[in-house]
Amino acid sequence: MRLGRYEVVRELGKGAMGIVYLAKDPLIGRLVALKTIRPASHPDDDESREFQQRFMREAQAAGILNHPNIVTVHDIGQDQESGMSFIAMEYVEGQNLKDVMAQGRALSFEEIGEIVAQVAEAIDFAHAKGIVHRDVKPANIILIEGNRAKITDFGIAKIASGGGNLTSTGQFLGTPNYMAPEQIKGSPVDGRTDIFSLGIVFYEALTRRKPFGGDSLTTISYRIVHEAFQPLHEINPRIPDGFEQITAKALAKDPARRYQRAREMANEIRAVARGERPQRIAEPVLADETVITRNADQVPTLEIPFPEAAAMADAAESRRSRSDRHAKPPIGSFWRRVRPPSRVRNISNEVAGNGIWSRPLSAALVFSILGIALLSFLLAAGWLVRQRATARPVDTRAERLRNQQRRIRTEANRLLTSGNVDGAYQKFQDLNRIAPASPFVAAMLQQLGAIKLQEVSVKERLTQSKEKFTQGMTLYNNGLYAESAALFQEAFQLDPTSNEAARYLKRAQDQQQRRAGARSRSAIDAQNTASGGLLPAAGSTTMTRAGVVDGARNGGTASLTVSFDSPVNDGYIQVRSGGQVLFHVNLWEERRRAIFRYRAARAINETHEVRAHSDLEIWIIVPSLQISWNRKLDLNYAPGSAHKLAITLDRATNQISYQTN
């Protein structure tokens, strides 16, 4: 099956309006995810046409976003035969955050904070480009290897710089559990709307429950607009203190009281992860303005009548009708401009009617009141002086200790950023001696210790590889090719990056083949000598030396390409032809991100010349899956022809299959 120029590999998932496929771009051989939309059932299908316009707008919106934490859009097109529109997006292997939480996968508070911080940086980048996501939720956050987050599905994003309003009143744009109050009330939205939704995601990831739950749409919407959420520490006291403050600010009902930029939220989350308290920034009026769409047309998302809102509307209408019946009070009359509530006026009139304030006050009563006031003032002043006198002095030792911790932590972070793991580990050890109860320091020591052990293990393997290679070279130089080939193979397995070990392994095997051929020729020469050196007569079945050589060649060679798209990050594949190793490569490659090294799966694509009529033996070893697969094929190719052997591993069943032409 093809869509446009793309070759569909398999189906990844289905939605209400289309299907998502895994496909291959034949121009550059890249795997992509094709997000499709079914064509309208008839030309007047307004709803389908509107959805298709929003589908195209997704590509327009996401296509201008190039960020490591945003799924990249490569192409947009329409299949001529089926009329199906599609978007070619980056194919990301991983699970979304919703599935991770549903599976009960353990995530530390630091890992959750880093995931949310990455998403905050991504949506801040989108806001700077004039795009509001409008549907930030766990299902749209994909976690790939190393808990790196990528946000996807900008299908309901609005470009602030223009574009038609394709949304009608009462239509949802977003998921109710993750909508901001202004979305529910149909007010204009901006980047702060995404920050509120991200705050809900942060709360849910920390507590594994939603801050505004409910059994109906009306209940959920009412709680988002009117009610407060349960504090984090009441659910789990072990959640870091700073996350409580960050969540409360992100989930403020008033957008002006939230973070004005998503990057501010990311910075404070990482500060808490480092063991610092989140900084209190200035009032929102003085902060950087976020991407706001207040000059654009309003985009109502949902109209829900609330009883309290209806009562407030009736009261406002009543006040307006009363104000229309009365003239505006004169500006010079302060009391008329600031009129007390009617209830207060009635009480004051009743008091005045009883004549209390019309009676003259005696001098004794006046002086008693003044004396009581003076005594109260003196008592309050004395209490304040005593409190100031008994104030605790500043603990200079504790202050010096805090400053020392801050300096060591700053130096450790600098060494860690520069890649000096040993130096950073030493600094965190110093910090642990000063603050042994810090969970952040303990976690960093554990992570850095694991990195150091991994580096020691890598060094040991490299040392062993060099020793095996040196021993193999000694045997190779002495003509012991079979023994040297075994040592070269061990050296290559210990260090797959060693080109020398791979090259001399091939040379040793070639020398073995030459020596075996020379022995065959010597045997034929001896046979000819024993028979008097006479050549066989015409029609004789006895072979000459040239006949043996031609038979060894088996009628020429053919080209064979072996491909294997490895889904695992360990193991190796080895292919032999006629007892000779064609290639032996690992199914993984080592990569590095910052100071961390990790293994990543790689695609195998090897092309070699093989004898046209020979046997082919394939070995695939995957220790983590306990796979030891071996197949032997009889090749019967035409000399000079080209062939392909495609090998696949089904991760659902751990079964290996192959296909050849």
Handedness of CA 272, 274, 280, 284 (dihedral sign): negative
CATH topology of domain 2-90: Phosphorylase Kinase; domain 1 (3.30.200)
What tokens appear for 415 in the block?
A: 């060494």
Q: Which of 515, 640, 644, 634 is nearest to 577 (CA)?
A: 634
* Positions of CATH 1.10.510.10 in the chain: 95-286
Average pLDDT, the chain: 78
Q: What is the pLDDT of residue 110?
A: 93
Arithmetic mean of pLDDT, 333-349: 43
Arithmetic mean of pLDDT, 340-360: 47
Arithmetic mean of pLDDT, 97-107: 90
| Calpha distance 17→55 (Å, rounded) | 10
The answer to whether the CB of 206 falls within 8 A of the CB of 239 is yes
Element (H, E) at 583: strand 580-586
Residue 98: pLDDT band with limits 50, 70, 90? very high
Residue 179: pLDDT band with limits 50, 70, 90? very high
| Calpha distance 477→491 (Å, rounded) | 17
Q: What is the pLDDT of residue 78?
A: 83
Residue 591: pLDDT band with limits 50, 70, 90? confident
DSSP bridge pairs for 36: 86
Arithmetic mean of pLDDT, 81-88: 84
Q: What is the pLDDT of residue 51?
A: 66
Q: CA distances (Å), 440 to each of 321, 322, 401, 444, 548, in order?
A: 62, 62, 17, 6, 73
Q: Which of 611, 607, 609 is nearest to 561 (CA)?
A: 607
Arithmetic mean of pLDDT, 527-547: 47
As a whole-number percent, the residues of the chain with pLDDT over 90 amount to 26
What tokens appear for 118 in the block?
A: 């990455």
* Positions of CATH 1.25.40.10 in the chain: 415-526+544-553
- Please tell me which residue, 259 or 613, carries the higher pLDDT value: 259
pLDDT at residue 138 above 70?
Answer: yes
The burial class, CB within 10 Å (0-12 / 13-18 / 19+), for 321 is exposed
CATH 1.10.10 for domain 555-661: no
Residue 313: pLDDT band with limits 50, 70, 90? very low
Other beta carbons within 10 Å of 3: 20
The set of catalytic residues is 135
Q: Which of 278-287, 463-472, 477-486 has the lowest mean pLDDT?
A: 278-287
pLDDT at residue 106 above 90?
Answer: no
Residue 67: pLDDT band with limits 50, 70, 90? very high
Q: What is the pLDDT of residue 340?
A: 47
| Calpha distance 636→661 (Å, rounded) | 11
pLDDT at residue 136 above 90?
Answer: yes
Q: What number of CA atoms fall less than 13 Å from residue 575's CA on the CB side? A: 20
* Positions of CATH 3.30.200.20 in the chain: 2-90
Arithmetic mean of pLDDT, 404-415: 87
Q: What is the pLDDT of residue 47?
A: 65
The answer to whether the CB of 501 falls within 8 A of the CB of 462 is no
Arithmetic mean of pLDDT, 263-292: 69
Q: Which of 138, 68, 133, 135 is nearest to 96 (CA)?
A: 138
Architecture (CATH level 2) of domain 95-286: Orthogonal Bundle (1.10)
- Write out the CATH class of domain 415-526+544-553: mainly alpha
- Please tell me which residue, 338 or 558, carries the higher pLDDT value: 558
| Calpha distance 182→300 (Å, rounded) | 9
Q: CA distances (Å), 620 to each of 62, 623, 648, 655, in order?
A: 40, 10, 11, 11
- Please tell me which residue, 156 or 144, carries the higher pLDDT value: 144
pLDDT at residue 621 above 50?
Answer: yes
Element (H, E) at 590: strand 588-593
Residue 529: pLDDT band with limits 50, 70, 90? low
As a whole-number percent, the residues of the chain with pLDDT over 70 amount to 74
What tokens appear for 63 in the block?
A: 């296509």
Mapping DSSP to helix (H, G, I), strand (E, B) and coil, where does residue 427 land?
helix
Arithmetic mean of pLDDT, 294-309: 39
Q: What is the pLDDT of residue 360?
A: 58
Q: What is the pLDDT of residue 100?
A: 92
Instruction: Give the DSSP per-residue string, 15-38.
Output: -SS-EEEEEEETTTTEEEEEEEEP
**Can you give the pTM of this predicted structure?**
0.45
- 3-class SS letters over 164-175: CCCCCCCCCCCC
Residue 45: pLDDT band with limits 50, 70, 90? low
Q: What is the pLDDT of residue 506?
A: 82
Residue 339: pLDDT band with limits 50, 70, 90? very low
Q: CA distances (Å), 577 to each of 602, 613, 616, in order?
A: 23, 10, 5
The answer to whether the CB of 9 falls within 8 A of the CB of 22 is yes
What tokens appear for 331 in the block?
A: 């500006």
Q: What is the pLDDT of residue 518?
A: 76
Q: What is the pLDDT of residue 24?
A: 94
Q: Which of 51-55, 75-79, 183-187, 479-483 has the lowest mean pLDDT?
A: 51-55
What tokens appear for 399 in the block?
A: 């202050």
Arithmetic mean of pLDDT, 136-140: 92
Residues 425-476 have pLDDT tens digits of 888 888 888 878 788 888 888 888 878 777 777 788 888 889 999 999 999 8
